[in-house]
Amino acid sequence: MKISGINHINIVTTSEKLAEVVAFYERIIGLKQGMRAVSKRNGAWLYCKETAIIHVSVVEAPPYPGSDTPFNHVALSCSGVDACLETLARNAIPYTIDFRSPPEMTQIFVFDPAGIRIELNFTGEKPGNYPGAAT
């Protein structure tokens, strides 16, 4: 697997604070709210020029154990989904996998030893069928 850069960071807030959070990033930081993929949850994407860099998600309760801070996860742009899955399996690292569209993307979620959620995005890649692949 190769990392090409940070894709985005995700912060969480309540529905009551969403407009205030978005306004802060627009007025104070200089980002602009932009296109957001269809999602079951409310939220916003904030862009620097043409690139989405902050994903604000609305949650009313922590989405997973230990996620009681506004910083939710960091997402990395990656290539080599099969190599990633093989490394995770070889090292017995638990993960979840999701498939998104548009754009066509495989997302793999893991936690680092400090408890930070890491989202690995493989745009245009789907995992092959090999022993040990988890779905």
**pLDDT digit string, tens, across residues 46-95:** 999 999 999 998 987 766 666 667 777 888 889 999 999 998 898 888 99
pTM given for the model: 0.66
| pLDDT for position 30 | 81
State which fold the 2-123 domain adopts. 2,3-Dihydroxybiphenyl 1,2-Dioxygenase; domain 1 (3.10.180)
Q: CA 96 to CA 25: how far, in whole Å?
A: 30
